[in-house]
C-alpha cells in the first residue's frame, strides 16, 4: 500500500525537510518487505491557494483515486504508535492500494474535506504547526513500519 502525505505549503531546505526526507527514506526501506510504500509527498502551494476552500481543492487534486483518506485534525482520534501501526496493517490487509494523509495550512483543513475523510487523526489536543505535523507524521509512519517488522526502534 502506497502512502501519501498531502500537505498545504512548500517545505524548503532546512531541518524539517531533512527530518522528513530521512524518515521517508527509512520507511521506504523498512516498509518494502511489509507491502508498505513508497511514501510520496504532494504539496499544495499556499501562495496559489489562499483560502481553506482553495487549499482543499488543491489537496483533492493530488489525492490518488480510491485512496483511504486520513485527515490530520486536532479533533481526530488519538492513536498510540502501536495502534497507528495496526491501523496501517489492517488497511493494507483490507486491499487498499493507497492511503493519503491530508494536512491543511495554518488555519487547518476545510470542513468539507475534513468531513469527507475516512478517518480523522490527531497528535493530541494541542495544536501543532502544520510543518511540524508533517515531520511527526513521517516519523510515525517509519515507526509503524518498524513495529510491524519487529525492529527494536520502538520501545514500550
Q: Where are the domains of the chain?
A: 2-149
Q: Kindly report the CATH number that applies to the domain delimited by 2-149.
A: 3.40.1280.10
Is the pTM value of this prediction over 0.85? yes
Rounded to 10 deg, the angle between the 130-149 and 81-93 helix axes is 70
pLDDT digits (tens, 9 = 90+) for 12-59: 899 999 999 999 999 999 999 999 999 999 999 888 888 999 999 999
pLDDT digits (tens, 9 = 90+) for 86-131: 999 999 999 999 999 999 998 899 999 999 999 999 999 888 888 8
Locus of grid cell 497528535: 123
The gap between the terminal CA atoms of the chain, to the nearest Å, is 26
Strands 39-44 and 2-8: parallel
Amino acid at each position: 500500500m502506497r502512502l501519501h502525505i498531502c500537505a498545504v505549503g512548500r517545505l524548503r531546505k532546512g531541518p524539517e525537510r531533512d527530518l522528513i526526507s530521512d524518515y521517508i527514506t527509512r520507511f521506504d526501506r523498512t516498509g518494502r518487505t511489509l507491502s508498505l510504500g513508497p511514501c510520496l509527498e504532494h504539496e499544495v502551494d499556499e501562495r496559489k491557494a489562499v483560502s481553506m476552500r482553495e487549499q482543499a481543492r488543491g489537496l483533492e487534486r493530488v489525492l490518488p483515486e480510491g485512496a483511504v483518506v486520513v485527515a490530520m485534525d486536532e479533533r481526530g482520534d488519538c492513536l498510540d504508535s502501536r495502534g497507528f501501526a495496526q491501523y496501517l496493517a489492517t488497511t493494507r490487509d483490507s486491499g487498499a492500494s493507497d492511503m493519503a494523509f491530508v494536512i491543511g495550512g495554518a488555519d487547518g483543513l476545510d470542513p468539507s474535506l475534513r468531513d469527507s475523510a475516512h478517518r480523522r487523526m490527531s497528535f493530541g489536543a494541542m495544536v501543532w504547526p502544520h510543518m511540524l505535523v508533517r515531520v511527526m507524521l513521517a516519523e510515525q509512519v517509519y515507526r509503524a513500519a518498524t513495529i510491524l517488522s519487529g525492529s527494536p526502534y520502538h520501545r514500550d
